[in-house]
Amino acid sequence: MSTFKRTAAGLLALALALGMAACGSGNDSNASDGGKTSTSDESSMPEKKLEESQQDIVNRLADDMTDVRELENNEIDWFSFYDINPTASADKEIGVDLALFQTKYNGKINYIQTTWETKFDDLAKLIMSGDSPDFIGADDMDVFPKGAIKNMIEPLDDYIDFDSPLWADMKEANDQFMYKGSHYVAVSRVDPSYIWIYNKNVIEDNGLEDPAELYYNGEWNWDKLSEMCIEFTDAESDKWAMDGWYYENALTESSGKPLVGMEDGKIVNNINAPELAKAQNMMYDLQKNEVVYPKHLHDWKVRGDVFGTGIASGETLFYPIGLWAIEDAPSVTAPYGDLSAGEVMFVPVPCAKDTDAMYVPSRIHGFCIAKNAKNPEGVAAWLDCTRYAETDAAAHQITLDQYKNDYGWTDEMLEMRDEIYTRAAEHPVFEFAQGVSSDLSNLTDGIIKGTMNPSETNTWTAIVAENEKALDYLIKEAQEQTEG
C-alpha cells in the first residue's frame, strides 16, 4: 500500500473547511475506462443544502463579490477519485465554496471518476483522446511539478491574477508552484498534513498526561512522545502506541526539513541535513522499542483494515493521520471514539525538544486546470469561490458550526484546529517528492520509512549511504527536465 494512499474520505475539500473532509471510498472505484465512470447510486441521492441562516451568509457573500466572471458555461468537469459534491453519504454537509459557486453562478460540478492508482494514466488517456476534464486537485502534493513537465495541466495566469486582493495573501504559497515563469497550481490555503489523534479516556485510563495540555505548556515533543509510547505498549495484550501509514513522514517533516524540497525553483536533496538525521535517529530508537502496530504480521494492513481502529477501544494510543480523518460524519469517525462526548482530541505532530520553531508538516489545498480544458474560465470562477470562502469570517463560522453541530466537534477541538493552522502558516514544511516523479517518491518512501520498517529496520547512516547517489541522480534528472 502506498504511504500516501488516501481513502476518498481523506481528501474532499469542504469549501472553507481549512481542512479536508470525506465523501466515500474512492478505493472502491474500479474505473478503467479513462475515468469516464460515475457512481449512479451516489448521484441519485439528494444533495445536502445549507441551513437557511447559513445560506443567508452565502447570499450576502455572493452579493459582495467584486471579482465576478461572465460565464458562457456554468458547468465544470472534476476529475478525481473522490467527488466534491456532497452526495456520497446522507450525513455529509455541503461546503461554503460549493454553495457559493452554486449561488453566484448557478454552477454545477460534474464528477468524472478515476482511482487513486490510475488517476494519472486515466488523465493522460482523456487528454490524448481530446476529452479532457476541466480541473483536478493538487492536495496530495503529487501533481507539481510533474504535471507541468508532462504537459498535463495548464498555466493559470491567463485566468487568475495572483497579485489581486483576493489572491494576494496566498501569493507566497502560489509562487512555490511555478514552472518556467507560470503558475500551475491555485493554492487556496495551506493545510497541516498530519495531526496526532488520541482518545482522552484511554489517556486517562493509562495514567498518562494529556498531550493537549502538554502542548499548551510547551512540553509536547519527541522525548515526551517516546516516553508515552514505550510506557503504553504491551505486545502480549496487543496494545501498540501507534498505527497507520503516516507516522514516519510526519515525524521526519517535523524536523523542519523535507527530504526533497524546493528552493528558488530548484529541487533540493536534504538527505544529509542534520535535522533529518536527528529525527530519523529518534525514530530508529522508537522502532527498537517496537511501539508500532506490526503491520508486517497482518498482511501489511492497519489494525482492522480501517483507519482509527483501536483508538476508542484502548488498543492503540496514537493515530498520526490527516485532519480529514475526523472532519467527517460520525459514522466515519466512530473508530476514534465519540467526538460529541469529548472523547477524541488531537495535537500537532511533536517536534524536537530543542527545536527553534514549531514546524508543521504541511500541504496545500488547491486545484489545477487540466490540459485542453473545455471550460477554464468556469474553473477560475470556482477557484475564486474557494478564496472568497476562505477570507470571509462569517463563512468560516459556517464550517466551524458544521463541525460542532453535525460532526460532534467540541470547542476544545476547534481551538486546537485553529492553533495548528496558525502554526502551519508560520512554519510549514512541504515535501515535494510526490510531485516530482513516481520513481523519486518510491525511493523517498523507502528512505523515510527505513528506520521504522518493522521487518527490516536500518540505521539512518546506513540508509543514507545506500540511497544518497540514487536520490541525487533522480533529482538531477528531474531538475534537467524543469530547465529544459
Residue 392, C-alpha cell as written in the block: 470571509
Sign of CA dihedral 449, 453, 456, 460: positive
Mean pLDDT (whole number) for 153-176: 92
Q: pLDDT confidence of 11, banded at 50, 70, 90?
A: very low
Alpha-carbon 95 to chain mean position: 17
Looking at residue 47, its pLDDT comes to: 61
Q: pLDDT confidence of 362, banded at 50, 70, 90?
A: very high
pLDDT tens digits for range 279-322: 999 999 999 999 999 999 999 999 999 999 999 999 999 999 99
* Beta pairing partners, 266: 263
Structural domains in the chain, CATH included, are 8-192+363-426 (3.40.190.10), 195-359+430-483 (3.40.190.10)
Residues in the chain: 484
Q: Which of 10-14, 33-37, 47-51, 241-245 has the lowest mean pLDDT?
A: 10-14
Mean pLDDT (whole number) for 372-377: 98
Listed residue (177, 42, 197) closest to 110, CA to CA = 42
Q: Which residues, in sequence order, are CB contacts of 191 under 8 Å at separation 6+?
A: 18, 19, 20, 139, 323, 362, 363, 364, 365, 421, 424
Mean per-residue pLDDT over the chain, rounded: 88
Q: pLDDT confidence of 175, banded at 50, 70, 90?
A: confident
**SS3 state at 169:** helix
Q: Where are the beta strands (DSSP E) in 45-148?
A: 75-80, 108-113, 135-137
Looking at residue 313, its pLDDT comes to: 97
- pLDDT of residue 31 exceeding 90: no
- pLDDT of residue 46 exceeding 70: no
Listed residue (140, 141, 148) closest to 483, CA to CA = 148
Listed residue (106, 136, 161) closest to 368, CA to CA = 136
- pLDDT of residue 13 exceeding 80: no
Mean pLDDT (whole number) for 249-267: 91
- pLDDT of residue 358 exceeding 80: yes
pLDDT tens digits for range 241-254: 999 999 999 999 99
Q: Which residues, in sequence order, are CB contacts of 287 under 8 Å at separation 6+?
A: 451, 452, 453, 454, 457
Percent share of the chain, pLDDT over 90: 72
Enter the DSSP assignment of 265.
T
Is 143 within 8 Å of 433 (Cβ atoms)? no
Cα–Cα distance for residue pair 175/12, rounded to 1 Å: 24
Looking at residue 263, its pLDDT comes to: 80
Looking at residue 426, its pLDDT comes to: 85
Q: What are the φ/ψ torsions at residue 273 (nearest 5 degrees)? A: -65, 135
**SS3 state at 363:** strand
Q: Which of 12-26, 144-158, 300-314 has the lowest mean pLDDT?
A: 12-26
Which residue did the predictor score with more confidence, 46 or 163? 163
Mean pLDDT (whole number) for 58-79: 95
- pLDDT of residue 108 exceeding 60: yes
pTM: 0.79
Alpha-carbon 100 to chain mean position: 23
Cα–Cα distance for residue pair 301/396, rounded to 1 Å: 37
Cα–Cα distance for residue pair 445/131, rounded to 1 Å: 33
Looking at residue 446, its pLDDT comes to: 96
